[in-house]
Each structure stands twice: as structure tokens, then as C-alpha cells.
Structure 1
Amino acid sequence: MHYQFDFAAVLHGDYLRAFIGGTLVTLALFAVAWLGSIVLGALLAVVRNSGVRGGAAVVAAYVEYHRNVPLVVQLLFWYFAAPSLFPAWLRDYLASHGSESPLAAVALVLCAAAYVSEDLRSGLRAIPRGQMEAGRALGMSYLLTMRTVIMPQALRISLPPLLNQALVLFKNTSLAMAVGVAELTYEAKEVDSNTYRTFEAFAVATVIYLAISFAIMFCGAALGRRFNVAEGRR
């Protein structure tokens, strides 16, 4: 007996709303984690590039931890273990407002920032040292020179690996289902459980993931072309 495909069974009513809701949660989680990882990753790269031995060692340890511990373990740590270290008022707040999404976002930000910092550090090393020296000679502080002169160039140089990190982070949001976040993979599993249409449920989720991934790549390519044009006009 051949399997009869029935995509209509998973694309109507509550099931369709579940896919839409899961997609929106995935996009929100990705946006928060990506913005947070860029900010934190830039800060880590600046500290490690500063030449301060203690700061560089701490950042190096941070990066090695997040690169060598599986992300799912980090998610489980932040959801099950870390709250025991929080103040009582914060634990109560998270318990009453739902801690799954905020703590999953924290874990994703901290992990992605480690990789972003390494990509930015490579970009920083590609910039001639003379630019930093020129900025300091003009009376600019180290942080001001980094913010206005060095880091914008490092971001442009690091754009290809940063785009790759964005794609990896987007796909890693699916791991948030391990702590109960109702993102796309979680909702696909719920639809599968209710309809017993495993192929259809996960096929729909796959198409959505592919569409968003291609959109991210398209935006990254457009951004890269814009930077190239801007560089060519100088």
C-alpha cells in the first residue's frame, strides 16, 4: 500500500497557525540572538585585540568553552542549572513569565558571540597597524579609534564568515525546542503528534527553513555588493 500524501491535513486551521507562530518565534529568537552576538562578539574582539594580557586570556577561555561544549548542553545548563544562581526575585519573575525563550536566547547569544569574536578578530588582524597608530597620534583613545576607524573596516572584511555564522545561528535556533521553546521545529513535532503526518509536517518545516536561509543569503549577498560598490567609489 502506497503512502498517500496529504499536505492539506497539516496546513489548515490550528496546524497552519502553529506553523506560522513557530516561524515567528524562530525569527524573533534569531534576530535577538544575532544582534546580541554581534554586540558581544565585537566587545570580545576589542578586548582580545587590546593587548591586555588578563583580558585576552579571559576572552580566549570564553571562546574555547563555547567552541568545545555542545550548544544543546549550554541550552540545558542555562535552563535547568543557571537559574539556581539567580536572585530569588529573578527566579520568580522568570517562573511566572516563562523562562524558556529568554534563557534560550541568552545561551544562543553567548555561544554565537564566541564565533563572531573570532571572525572579527581575523578582520582586525587584516587591517594595517598603522591605522591604529595614526588614530592614537591624532589624540583619539583606543576605544574611539576602534569604534570609528578600525571596527567598521573589520566588519566589512569579516562579512562572508559573519554571514555564515548568521546561517548557523538561524539553524541552531531549532535546538531551543530542547527547553520547550515553541519555535518551528517544536511546532512541527506537535503537528506530527496530532496528525500522524510525519512526512508532511517536517516537509513544511524544511521548506520554511530553506526559504528563510535563502533569504538570509540573499540579504548577505546584497549587503556585500553594496559594500563593494561603496569601496569602489572611494
Structure 2
Amino acid sequence: MALVTGGSDGIGREIALQLQAAGANVIVTGRSAEKLQAMAGLGFGTIAGDLSTAAGLDAVVAGVSGKPIALLVNNAGVGAMDYSVDDPANLATAVNCLHTNLDAPIALCAHLIPALRAQPEAAIVNVTSGLAIAPCGSGAVYCATKAGLRAYTQALRYVLKDSNVRVIEALPPVVATNMTAKRDGKKMTAHDCAAEIVRGIRTGKTEINVGMVKMLQLVHSISPALARRIMIKF
């Protein structure tokens, strides 16, 4: 059984659909009752919960209590790409981003690792971003959350290295979702992004660089400073 957070829309929805097509029993979380109802109509288990709040997190944990979760996909995320660093009025946006993108995945791992350990084989997939490798100037807080989740994922992988729980990081590029609707330029489809992530899970990868992130990783391996100079203006 798989739990996909933010699984009623965007990349998460496509991951859920592709896992289901591969035979998995999938539960998705989301904030939109309408979108969750649509997913329920497709045969998914659903849990309503805003992961930026303690109540939402508690609802998700309670919703999977006692269930044989073997795959946790921490996909839910919110953007803060127009965050103004000199405007205290934007701090609520920053806090929401931090809670959803970083605090919630850490909390869900803490709550669900015992259940994952009870399965013969299990995995955690933390969806970060190419911006976790090198940040862009237009999204300081968003980049910080994804870089923080990347560091947590790498440390968690080491902690669980002798267990049955595989820890995977998926790093998407810019993907065509509601979050990026106002951003110009080339975007990967959510379907194609999810396909690379699901393929990486099935083939045993621990780090899944999706689309153009492969090139960014190559540049970063040669010169981290060059990667930062390229991405900071993105």
C-alpha cells in the first residue's frame, strides 16, 4: 500500500495514477474536497488534510493508522516563488511553505517509519527539486525548504541503510502544474515527470534526477559555483 501526499493534483496525482496502474493500492492526500472526490471515483483511498497545519498532519497520520503502508511519497508542496525578503507581511507565506515542504515530510517519516519497517520491503520517496542543488533568486524560501529536505533525505538514508526501508530523493525540474502556471519557459509534463520517478522507484534508484536536472547535476559535479551562477538568475 502506498501513501502519496498532495496526490490529488499535479505530479502527485500522476504518481498515484501510475502506481495504481502498476497494481498498487494507493491512498492520496489533498486539500480540495472536489479533487479528492474525483480521485475516490477512480478507486483511490483519500484523506483530506492541509499539511501546513497540525490538524491536517494529524488527520493524515490517523487516516493511515493500522494500514500496511509500504511506500510513502512525500510529494505535497507549495511555492513561494515571489517571496519578498524585505517585507514582514510575507512571513506567513514563508511559514506555510516551511511547514508544508519541510516540516510535514519530516513528521510523516517519524510517524510512519515504524509501519514501514514492519513490511518485508518499504521505501520513502521525498520529492525535492532541482533547486535543492542550486537555488534561484526568485524563490529563497522555497529553495531553502527543498535544500533542507534534500539534506534530511541524505541523512535519513544513512540512518536507515541497514533496514528494509529504502530512502529515495526525486528531483524534478520545472513541471507544468498549478504551482508553475505563471512561469514562462519550457516545462516538463506532470505525466512524464511522474513516469521517471515511478521508474526510478521500481529500478532501485536512491536519487532520481528528472529531466533537465540530470544536466544540472552534471554541471554541479564539475563546478558547484557555475551551477549556482546559472540557477540564481532563473
TM score, norm. by length of structure 1: 0.26
TM score, norm. by length of structure 2: 0.26
- Structure in which a larger fraction of residues adopt helix: 1
Which structure is higher in RCO with an 8 Å CA cutoff and minimum separation 6? 1
- Structure in which a larger fraction of residues adopt strand: 2
